[in-house]
Amino acid sequence: MPTTGLIVCSTRSPRAGLQISTFIHETIKHAHPQASITVIDLAEWSLPLYNEPGIPSRITSAEGYMHEHTKAWSREISRYDSFIFVTPQYNWGYPASLKNAIDYLFNEWKGKPAMVVSYGGHGGGKAAAQLQQVLQGLRMVPLESTVGLTFPEKEIMARAAMGEDLGLGGEGGFWAGEKEEIQRLFGELVGVVEKSS
């Protein structure tokens, strides 16, 4: 089974991103019990705003970076065969926390398949589309489809922003219907990795 890094892209405090990522993780494990998925929480990584002197595309090993945080991040991302990005939408785009984590590296991402799940008042589709373009710029292999998780009401979106429990465990609450699409896309992701290896 290929290894997958599931990246929690929101680093806000409070945030909804971690419980949404857990929902996605559990949804996938339910359909693909053998899946090898590791959660990578950008809030725990706390990367500072890009502060390397070099250009990532010209650096081919962790030792080529100046800072310890970059070397560790390079080693982490090098470990996985594929990625799932779980991202909020801020002002019709991806969050700085995600773009910063991406731009620190290049060859560690290159050539690897990726799946995008976005969330927001309208499902975060604009952030997903911008992110897909960035993944292409990185020479990754994004799946054609993305999953957009829409908060069903303004009041739930407000609760999400406050980091309150959205009841996504078990049956999946208001996103029960989206589980099948998440499972299907993960199957596609694994297929792309296996075909390319």
Give the footprint of its own copies on this chain (CB under 8 A).
11-14, 46-51, 53, 55, 90-97, 99-100, 102-103, 106, 126, 130, 133-134, 136-138, 161
Q: Which is nearer to its own copies, 162 or 176 (CB)?
A: 162
Judge contact between 185 and 24, C-beta under 8 A.
Answer: no
Q: Which is nearer to its own copies, 75 or 122 (CB)?
A: 122
Q: Which is nearer to its own copies, 13 or 34 (CB)?
A: 13
The residues with which 36 forms a beta bridge, in sequence order, are 3
Q: Which is nearer to its own copies, 31 or 161 (CB)?
A: 161
Q: How far apart are CA 28 and CA 49, in angstroms?
A: 32
CB of 93 to its own copies, least distance (A): 4
Which residues contact residue 158 at a Cβ distance below 8 angstroms, ignoring those fewer than 6 apart?
A: none
Q: Which is nearer to its own copies, 15 or 25 (CB)?
A: 15
CB of 181 to its own copies, least distance (A): 25
10: left (phi over 0), alpha (psi -120 to 50) or beta: beta
Buried b (16+ CB within 10 A) or exposed e, 138-164: bebbbbeebbbbbbeeeebbebbeeee
CB of 36 to its own copies, least distance (A): 27
CB of 103 to its own copies, least distance (A): 5
CB atoms within 10 A of CB 24: 28
